[in-house]
Amino acid sequence: MSSHISDRTIRQLGLKPHRVETIINTLFGGSETKPREKGLYAIEIKALDESFSVCLEALWEEKICGFVPKVNDRIILRELKNRKIEITDSVSGEYEIDLLIGADLLRSLLTGEIVELDCGLTAVHTKLGWTIMGKQKGTSSMGNVMTTLSMHCRSVNLTEMWDFECLGIIDPSQSICMKKAQSEHLNDFREKITILPCERYEVGLPRKSDFRNLPDNKELSWERHKKMVKRMKARGFLCEYHEVSDDWERLKIIERVPEYELKNEKCHYLPHRPVIKMQSETIKIRPVFDASASEKGKPSLNHCLFKGINLIELIPDEIDRFRTYPIGLSGVCWLHCLLVCWTLSYWLMLSVANQDRDFLRFFYPCVEELVYRHCRVVFGVSCSPFLLNASILYLLDNSPPEFHDMVENLKGSFYVDNCLTGVNDPCDQASFIERTQTLMSRGGFNLSGWVSNVACEFISKYSCEVSVLGLLWNLDAHKLRCSIDFEVLSYETVISKRLILSLVQKIFDPMGILCAVTFLPKILLQDTWKLKVGSDIEMPPDVSKKFFQWVNEL
């Protein structure tokens, strides 16, 4: 049996068929329908906690079925809760079924876990969640009870602009699943982490269950590589970009893949491009690797790795703890800082386990097809923040007894590479910084670049404004504010969807202080999407007028 997707979902997601098939349906009783052409769509479905996903092909169907009731009986829900069975759609309401998963895929989804409920129903666990089936005791209704599976399309990211998840508000079942996955991956990380003789940590990539579906991505990467080389050669930056890669190879951050390993089927290639900032005092040209690149209908590397919990949710608590101290401290964490005409960041100092390095291949920035691979954690791979946080947590959990008085403080003070903390007494400031640096150096970490609203020998800045977790910290007044750096638009500016999206994304408000202000452009963005016009097409006068007014009032 094939899978089917509703016409409504196809239109909402703007999907395009990759081929058309002629279908004849054989019905009960042996009768057959007339031949009919139907589009075949490549889609991807995944569990709410992103621990599993699978790509499948689904045929177009105008309407899959009628109303299917959800589980809303309190007795059943209570029993499910007691048995720690979380279902994702235990709400009443007539919601259409938009995806029917065929029997050809069902076998690969079943985990084998089956629970017989006291009410007579049976709970069957799949890799996409729990489904409930059967007949309830004492009922004679012919209605079915089932749980449908949620479908998410990776290509539709715009909804994140108005998704409650960006504020940390998500479905309770999704939150529980994510926390469970976080705990499992942390335990796996602690079991597999290796401390090298140079005190550097060696870590593996946190794979999700669908990692085996990861394609090599070689053809896509090579096509993008050729265009990048041609562009950099025309701009005169190819030699400088080549030198950066030479430095990395000399420092053993990357290595060339031996000829005898080039034919290994289990590998993945990452496209890359240089980011050029000639005004920078340190890194003028740096490579950026695109781990989200994928061929149509196939997963990317980022999709197959566990990225951890939404770190944005942690910022309000970090800020609240930071504000309890009259003397604030902020430092940046590096791993064995080395100077090679630029500062080597912590990402590049976490070693990647040998068995995972072939999934971090890339083409050397030259005309020839030279294949290299990363030996260190790559900035741009979604799991990198998780690996860094897990490494710091591992270090703190295994700290000597003389540091236990400050471990709990530091556990709640790190946000990726930023340490945000403080002290209550100016006399304790220098001692706290010195002890913190000593503790972190045990794992090869170097906390530097300390700033504070009170001067001391370790402080590099104690006046003016500095950036702290995306906010601006006024060191003189010890106050925080959101950074809004918009140019006043003239009425000659063409207002398009692209412009609205780019300006709205410039506002970073982790505390939710500006929610009332940023609400209007997000509503406008939703409205413009309904117009189904291109990203660079000028918006209607009424939309442009509202957006002009909003920007200029900021």
Cβ neighbours of residue 304 closer than 8 Å, sequence gap 6 or more: 53, 207, 208, 210, 211, 213, 214
For residue 405, give both structure tokens. 């008085």
Same domain? 522 vs 467: no
pLDDT at 355 over 80: yes
Cα–Cα distances in Å, from 364 out to 165, 252, 259? Answer: 38, 14, 15
pLDDT at 185 over 60: yes
**Shared domain check, 247 and 105:** no
Tell me the Cα Rg of the chain.
27
Question: Which of the listed residues 101, 116, 134 is the one where a domain comes to its end?
Answer: 134
**461-481: per-residue pLDDT in tens?**
888 888 888 888 898 888 888
Task: Write the CB contacts of 253 (distance below 8 Å, at least 6 apart in sequence).
Answer: 344, 348, 374, 375, 376
Poorest-pLDDT segment among 95-99, 282-286, 292-296, 439-443? 282-286
Q: pLDDT grade, residue 26 (50/70/90)?
A: low
User: Would you say residue 177 lies in a domain?
Assistant: no
Q: For residue 96, with 0-12 CB atoms within 10 Å meaning exposed, 13-18 middle and 19 or more buried, which class applies?
A: middle
Is pLDDT of 294 > 80? yes
pLDDT for position 29: 61
Taking the complete model, does pTM exceed 0.85, yes or no?
no
Q: How sure is the predictor about 206, in pLDDT bands with cuts at 50, 70 and 90?
A: very high
Mean pLDDT, the chain, integer: 80
In terms of domains, do 241 and 366 share one?
yes
Q: Does residue 178 lie within any of the structural domains?
A: no
| Better-predicted residue by pLDDT, 83 or 292 | 292
373 pLDDT band, cuts 50/70/90, is very high
Claim to verify: residue 297 and residue 334 sit in the same structural domain: yes
- Sign of the C-alpha dihedral, residues 13, 19, 24, 26? negative
440 with 521, same domain?
Answer: no
pLDDT digits (tens, 9 = 90+) for 484-508: 776 666 667 788 888 888 888 778 8
Same domain membership, residue 102 and residue 14: yes
pLDDT for 250 = 92
Q: What is the pLDDT of residue 498?
A: 84
Tokens of residue 96, six digits = 């259409």
Q: How many domains does the chain have?
A: 3
pLDDT of residue 174: 62
Dihedral sign (CA 314, 315, 317, 322): positive
Q: Which residue has the tokens 């040998």?
A: 354
Same domain, 22 and 65: yes
CB 410 within 8 Å of CB 421: yes
Note whether 248 and 349 are same-domain residues.
yes
Last residue of a domain, one of 413, 446, 479: 479
Residues 486, 551 contacting (CB under 8 angstroms): yes
Residue 524: what pLDDT? 84
- Is 319 part of a structural domain of the chain? yes
**Stretch among 49-58, 81-90, 464-473, 519-528 having the lowest mean pLDDT:** 81-90
Alpha carbons 294 and 300: distance in angstroms, whole number: 5
Instruction: Please tell me the predicted confidence (pLDDT) of residue 282.
Output: 55
Residues 460 and 508 in one domain: no
Average pLDDT over residues 417-422: 85
Mark which of 134, 169, 201 sits at the end of a domain: 134
Report the 10 Å Cβ neighbour count for 352.
21
**pLDDT tens, residue by residue, 310-354:** 777 788 888 888 888 888 888 776 543 332 222 345 555 689 999
Q: Are residues 307 and 234 in the same domain?
A: yes
> Is position 166 within any domain?
no
- Is 337 domain-assigned? yes
Is residue 174 in a domain? Answer: no
pLDDT at 139 exceeding the cut of 60: no
Same-domain status, 460 and 361: yes
Q: Are residues 232 and 375 in the same domain?
A: yes
Structure tokens at 212: 């085996």
> Residue 549 belongs to what domain range?
497-553
Residue 168 lies in a domain: no
DSSP letters spanning 450-469? EEESS--TT-SB-SSEEEET
Is 501 part of a structural domain of the chain?
yes
pLDDT confidence tier of residue 153, bands split at 50, 70 and 90: very low
Residue-wise pLDDT tens digits, 101-136: 887 787 778 888 888 888 778 888 888 888 888 776
